[in-house]
Amino acid sequence: MPDVPAEAVLNVSGGRPLRGRYRVQGSKNAALHLIAAALLADTPVTVRRAPDIVDLVVYERLLQYSGWHAAMDANRSTFMLEPTGQIRHEVHSALGGLVRTTPVLAAALLARNGRVTWPRAGGDAFCPRPTDRHEAVMRAAGAVLESHGSGFTATCPTGLRPFRVDVATRFGASRGATVTALLLAARVRGNSLITNPSHEPEVRETVAFLGQRGVIVDQDEEGLHVAGSDWIAGGEVDVPGDRDEAATVICAAAATGGEVHLEGIALHELTEGLTEVLTRTGISLSAAGAQCVEAKSDGPLHGVEAVTGEGLLPSNAGPPLAAMLTQARSDSGITEGVYPSRDTHIAPLSRFGAHISSAGPVIRVRSGAKLRAADTEVGDIRGAAAVVIAALVAQGTSVLHVGHPVWRGYQHLTSGLQALGADLTVERQED
């Protein structure tokens, strides 16, 4: 089970270098998309190495409501899914409003049932995150959409049809809308084309899952060509390592002057853009086996200029990286290329004495800050990770009101950091 209850405060005394081994969980975002893809299958699916986090608990209950036998196993590490004879064409209004991938789940139900009602997406509200590209995909596939106060209803009067759709936004390709398009195209007989698709790991994992079950997905200069099927096999799938968790732990170790041996993730799973930026800060990354990565600083950290976005630095790495760069010997700039107003970590980091500010999509981090303990809160997953890193560096004991967001994204971050030498305790709060 997760080692942080939803209503909890973390007490962190900083100043200790983190050293040792840390086991990385299965990827949160990959697991959520793979489970959504598994809803298309006509026979049972077993998703191994699923992280035991809030969003998976929500999925478990949400999918049970929608008519699936859905459950984590006794060890809370494998998600098992099997369709029943009574599939609802509805995403539960309250539960669906708790997770970001609600439109992707809705697409899977639409693909199976030809009709679906779903609430507006929830999840981290670190900035406006429109879902208009998901809706555009559904319309392209032949759905008629109706918007109402609590969400949307989509129906396909004449059934789903092969389609062509562009999933680009003004900030780059939409990962979620790419998966929505893949799921709809997978259940349509005929050929569909997704132009300007995302190529992030979660998309590649979804493509691989569908491909292993008879859905043909080819890529060329036009985009992703999908030849769908009206019957999709089940089976087993493994969730890859969580690069966002790995980035968080690497940044925490480097910020405190330590080093870490990550187990459960391969070096290539960190992705080239992330490893390139971390290397430029002075962190040495090396493979220590098929599923192990060693990370240690070669000396003082260097400031960097970096851009988040497709093919570059993952957006979720931005807040932890900013926290680490407060300890660099030179100034840094992180330009947010996906969510230009993603800045919920700036005010909390400033309370620790960090010299950090934003101008539009550019976040500037000045070097030389001596962080001091703070009492702070933040409501999103990666913002919470950033303040945990700051508290690990700061002198004194910090009080962090981040129980729920930490549990949403990290199964065992607190116990893992304790094993690395962090002076950290979890204080359960009365609801």
Residue 2 has what pLDDT?
A: 64
**Residue pLDDT, tens place only, 191-205:** 999 999 999 999 999
CA distance linking residue 90 with residue 373, whole number of Å = 46
Q: Quick one: which of 419, 407, 385 has its CA closest to 76?
A: 407
Residue 15 has what pLDDT?
A: 95
Residue 5 has what pLDDT?
A: 64
- 8 A C-beta contact, residue 252 and residue 283: no
**Residue pLDDT, tens place only, 278-305:** 999 999 999 998 899 999 998 899 999 9
Tokens 């910020």 locate to 255
CATH topology of domain 28-230: UDP-n-acetylglucosamine1-carboxyvinyl-transferase; Chain (3.65.10)
Burial class (CB in 10 A: 0-12, 13-18, 19+), 12: buried
Query: Hey, do 8-25+241-428 and 28-230 end up sharing a CATH topology, with the first three levels equal?
Result: yes
Report residues of the chain scoring pLDDT below 70: 1-2, 4-6, 123-128, 310-311, 429-431
Instruction: Report phi then psi at 220, rounded to 5.
Output: -145, -165
- 8 A C-beta contact, residue 220 and residue 357: no
With a CB cutoff of 8 Å and minimum separation 6, the contacts of 33 are 101, 104, 179, 202, 203, 205, 206
With a CB cutoff of 8 Å and minimum separation 6, the contacts of 59 are 32, 35, 70, 79, 99
Domain 8-25+241-428: which CATH number of 3.40.50.261, 1.20.1560.10, 3.65.10.10, 3.40.50.720: 3.65.10.10
Residue 339 has what pLDDT?
A: 80
CA 276 to chain centre: 20
CA distance linking residue 353 with residue 369, whole number of Å = 7
Domain ranges across the chain: 8-25+241-428, 28-230
Q: Quick one: which of 165, 246, 162 has its CA closest to 201?
A: 246
